[in-house]
Amino acid sequence: MKETILQKATDMFLTLGYKSVTMDDIANEMGISKKTIYLHYANKNELVEASTTSLFITIAEGIDEICTLGYNSIEEIFIIRKFLMKHLNNETASPFFQLQKFFPQTFSALRQKQFEKMHTCMTESIEKGIRDGLYRTDLDVDFTSRIYFTGLTGIKDSDIFPHSVYDINAVTRQFLEYHLRAITTESGQSQLKEVLKKY
């Protein structure tokens, strides 16, 4: 029951937002009493934390699996992006804005874990791209990895990219192209063109 509650809560949080969804909403959706939820989760904060931790683990394991499939470093980024969209309900910004605003400690812990995971993955991906001749050999790998994370999270800032004007998925694709054009070799540029047609 605990895992079922967690899965349902996570689905609802991603669809409607971490603040918007109440414990009553989850109980009603599942056809159980709120008391049953409290048998497994002491309060909403605990449920939100469990939800974000579970989601992070699922995504981290999925990314690790993708990285073993042998794609080149450019296509790999787009495959990971597609995977993230699937598991984050197309990554609408509202749930994570609510998480940041109303559950700041949970958000901060999640962001740190995201950075550590992304930094490790991107460092390995960039090094692979350099070895394969797709990325420039003069890149500062650590800087490039960090600026990638900063850009990817920065484009979700609704003050800079208002959601009424910018579609988050379109902006993310534009950012990926912008980033990759800056670091690819001539061979990498050709590969990027093919990947952009495919995705």
Q: Mind listing the domains of the chain with CATH numbers? A: 58-198 (1.10.357.10)
- Collapsing DSSP to helix, strand or coil, 19 comes out as coil
Q: What's the pLDDT score for residue 117?
A: 95
Sign of CA dihedral 131, 132, 136, 139: negative
Q: CA-CA distance, 42 to 61, in Å (whole number)?
A: 28
Q: What's the pLDDT score for residue 88?
A: 79
Of 122, 116, 157, nearest in space to 143 by CA:
122
Q: What's the pLDDT score for residue 176?
A: 96
Residue-wise pLDDT for 128-178, tens only, equals 999 999 999 999 999 999 999 999 989 888 889 888 899 888 999 999 999
Q: What is the value of pTM for the model shown?
A: 0.86
Residue-wise pLDDT for 75-129, tens only, equals 999 999 999 888 876 555 568 888 988 999 999 999 999 999 999 999 999 999 9
Of 8, 180, 176, 145, nearest in space to 82 by CA:
176
Q: What's the pLDDT score for residue 93?
A: 54
Q: CA-CA distance, 194 to 199, in Å (whole number)?
A: 9
Q: What's the pLDDT score for residue 134?
A: 98
Q: What's the pLDDT score for residue 199?
A: 84
Q: CA-CA distance, 78 to 128, in Å (whole number)?
A: 16
For the record, the structure tokens of 165 come out as: 């004007």
- Collapsing DSSP to helix, strand or coil, 135 comes out as strand
For the record, the structure tokens of 121 come out as: 């993955």
Q: Name the pLDDT band for 24 (thresholds 50, 70, 90).
A: very high
DSSP one-letter code for 161: S
The distance in angstroms from the start CA to the end CA of the chain is 38
